[in-house]
A and B are shown apart, each in its own frame.
Chain A
């Protein structure tokens, strides 16, 4: 089975840096995705990690440690538009299992 844990909610200030953690216990692992989802909208792709280490893409970075079953999403220079839910999803073959998501609230 799959078990994926993320904090339910986080708050941060515009311009700051925030780290959203995700831990997982899975019966198989082929990669980990991070998606962003604004209220009432569909999830959109942010990052994908297959190997251990840090993947950087603009203001967003994602880290993976397969041995620890751990990933984080790092958001820098926060903007108001970053207020959204961030979903961690573990890939096993062609199937994704999503965590419950972390609601990030960015305040001025």
Chain B
């Protein structure tokens, strides 16, 4: 069964450093999502792509976060500089219209900022 791939699974970084996460969606899924999930909360949408275009990045802290999906396939989410409050699980998901927009999630990247 096809899966969403994410790397790394765990990342520890010091505050003010740069960090990047990678996501490879299920083949053929045009829509890709990046979420941040703080412990005990639901996933919060950071950015949504349709192919290579950003559909929604209203909750993305653009002073430090950036996301790209240059060829409309895999995607990178970057934080620079990282802050203590960025410690969270970063989830990537993908969906397609033919799947009824059910979102398939990757295993996530657990970020700890020290």
Contacts and interface: CB of A to CB of B under 8 A. Distances in A.
Dominant secondary structure at the A interface: strand
B102 A97 contact: no
Interface string A4-44: 00000000000000000000000000110100000011111
A94 B55 contact: yes
B43 A43 contact: yes
Interface in B32-91: 33, 40-45, 48, 50, 55-56, 91
Size class of B's contact patch? 20 to 34
A5 B45 CA distance: 17
A45 B101 CA distance: 11
B50 A94 contact: yes
A94 B43 contact: no
A42 B91 contact: yes
Contact of A95 (B56, B97, B105, B108): B56
Nearest to B56: A95
Given A42-B108, A94-B48, A95-B56, A87 B42 contact: yes
A96 interface: yes
B106 A95 contact: no
